[in-house]
Amino acid sequence: MKVLVLNTPFMKMYSRASRSPAVTKSSTLYYPYWLAYAVGVLEDNGFDVKFIDAPAMDLDHDQVYEIAQEFKPELTVLDTTTGSINNDVATASKIKDLTGSKTVMVGTHASATAEETINISEKVDAVAVAEYDYTVRDLAIAIRDNTDITKVKGLWVRVDGNINNNGRRNYIKNLDELPFASRVYKKHFDRETIDRFFYGESLHPVMTILSGRGCPHQCAFCVYPQTMTGHQYRYRSVTNFVDELEYINKEFPYVKEIFVEDDTLTVHKDRAVDIANEIMRRGLKITWSANSRADIDLETLEAIGKSGCRLLCVGFESGDQRVLDNMQKKIKVDNIYDFVSNAKKAKVLIHGCFLVGNPGESKESLQKTLDMALKINPDTAQFYPIMIYPGTKAYDWAARKGYITKDSYDQWLTKDGLHNSVVSTPDVSWDELVVWCDEARRKFYLRPSYVFSKLKQGIKEPKEFGRLLRGGTTLLKFIFRGSLPEKKAA
């Protein structure tokens, strides 16, 4: 049986698997790693899968429709995001018209709004809720064997015009059962496609995998734990994970960095150290990076740094303690300064993320955030307005308060696909947040001291030069133009 798995066509360079999906200012394009795991599971169960990443393969709708007609799938799996949901459902409907395929929507938005999503179009046959690797597998088996799809847990399904909620599926306990995402990439993506995946903070080419799923922290805005993976950190064994690092090192000699996309790899510091020790025990010469919180100590930073950890991506979010508390970050501003100091001692680079517009945000707290960003001076930084998504506590807060200013999911993005904001509070409006982010970006990146340090870094470390040039060239367009051309920065 044939299954088409589709990172749905939308805007050019639309980074759908990002935590805040958009066309990014640094030309970042995420790997479709959630889809990749599902593809691997389907193939392990004997299905003939065509895996298409339309943004990475630079395919438009008509090209994807042509591929679908030629392939003739019996099931099509389509990824969704909030800003693209109307496009995603329209794409599913067209493929169903052309091929007769069953359609199932997956991903953060569909998971959070399953009943709403399946009711957008009668041509959506099913919606998978939360972690969908085994849900899609079981749906495919039911279609192949002509058995009752209402028995497949984790789905909302349409049967004879009626919609049925099949109930939740338990999260996968043993993640070692899952195939390597990198094996899926190797089978389905050529070198040209892999070159298109780009992370502004990472060496290029980069490859993305997971060592675990879920996050115990309760940050109100964070979309994956609240819609897809839950608040328990489930993780692969150290041996299984490092086996994949070794596989990538052997099979993709041109890949210069491996990014570990767990929400927080360093949740268990002992495990992070165990991973580092296993990498060194095997003598692997790799460069890797990961997401972290600003709460790990110097000893842990030094251990992972010695194993090849080049960079940690860290959500600092705000320089105002009251705002951090309101978003349930559960971290102290003083911890942030200590962490950055220790990271510099351990020679681990930091990509800092600053998210504005959270509960309690004001012009004064915005200034504190910018002051902190300039003072801690991470290697790279991103400033973006809060992007609330259905299924998150941040979305519920904004909806309850009447702070959502837009009436269509299409407006979650600008006309160019950039991050927008749909939240206006009595203290800060949505367009003030967008303009503030533009201005903060200018003040951070156009400092003479910063520009000089990057030139020095590129000369001293030639491996860094490529990502600095590519990311910087794209970023400069938006630094001078801004996200809202009709608005002038204050």
Cβ-based burial of 163 (10 A; exposed 0-12, middle 13-18, buried ≥19): middle
- Look at residue 321 and tell me if it is in a domain: no
Owning domain of residue 15:
2-128+132-165
Are 363 and 489 contained in the same domain? Answer: yes
User: Dihedral of the CA atoms 291, 296, 299, 304 (nearest 10)?
Assistant: -10
Are 364 and 474 contained in the same domain? Answer: yes
- Look at residue 483 and tell me if it is in a domain: yes
- At 94, the amino acid letter reads K
- Look at residue 183 and tell me if it is in a domain: yes
Are 356 and 217 contained in the same domain? Answer: no
Are 10 and 144 contained in the same domain? Answer: yes
Are 282 and 414 contained in the same domain? Answer: no
Cβ-based burial of 18 (10 A; exposed 0-12, middle 13-18, buried ≥19): middle
- Look at residue 416 and tell me if it is in a domain: yes
Q: How much is the average pLDDT of 155-180?
A: 96
Rounded Cα distance between 217 and 219, Å, is 6
Q: What is the pLDDT of residues 1-24, one digit of tens each?
A: 999 999 999 999 999 999 999 998
The answer to whether residues 268 and 234 touch, using CB atoms and an 8 Å cutoff, is no
Q: What is the pLDDT of residues 45-99, one digit of tens each?
A: 999 999 999 999 999 999 999 999 999 999 999 999 999 999 999 999 999 999 9
pLDDT-based confidence at 456, cuts 50/70/90? Answer: confident
Are 120 and 191 contained in the same domain? Answer: no
pLDDT-based confidence at 401, cuts 50/70/90? Answer: very high
User: Nearest 5°: CA angle at 213, between 343 and 294?
Assistant: 20
- Look at residue 482 and tell me if it is in a domain: yes
Domain boundary among 114, 142, 165: 165
Are 187 and 306 contained in the same domain? Answer: yes
pLDDT-based confidence at 455, cuts 50/70/90? Answer: confident
- Look at residue 338 and tell me if it is in a domain: no
Are 288 and 363 contained in the same domain? Answer: no
Give the helix/strand (H/E) hosting 155.
strand 155-159
The tokens for 331 are: 């971290």
Are 151 and 223 contained in the same domain? Answer: no
pTM across the whole model: 0.94
Domain boundary among 148, 165, 182: 165
Q: Return the SS3 of 206.
A: strand
Rounded Cα distance between 278 and 56, Å, is 33
Domain boundary among 297, 315, 333: 315
Are 351 and 440 contained in the same domain? Answer: yes
The answer to whether residues 319 and 383 touch, using CB atoms and an 8 Å cutoff, is no
The answer to whether residues 32 and 53 touch, using CB atoms and an 8 Å cutoff, is yes
- Look at residue 334 and tell me if it is in a domain: no
The answer to whether residues 264 and 292 touch, using CB atoms and an 8 Å cutoff, is yes
pLDDT value at position 480?
67
| Number of domain units in the chain | 3
pLDDT exceeds 90 at position 328: yes
Are 178 and 153 contained in the same domain? Answer: no
- Look at residue 326 and tell me if it is in a domain: no
Are 140 and 24 contained in the same domain? Answer: yes
Q: What is the pLDDT of residues 414-443, one digit of tens each?
A: 888 988 889 999 999 999 999 999 999 999
pLDDT-based confidence at 364, cuts 50/70/90? Answer: very high
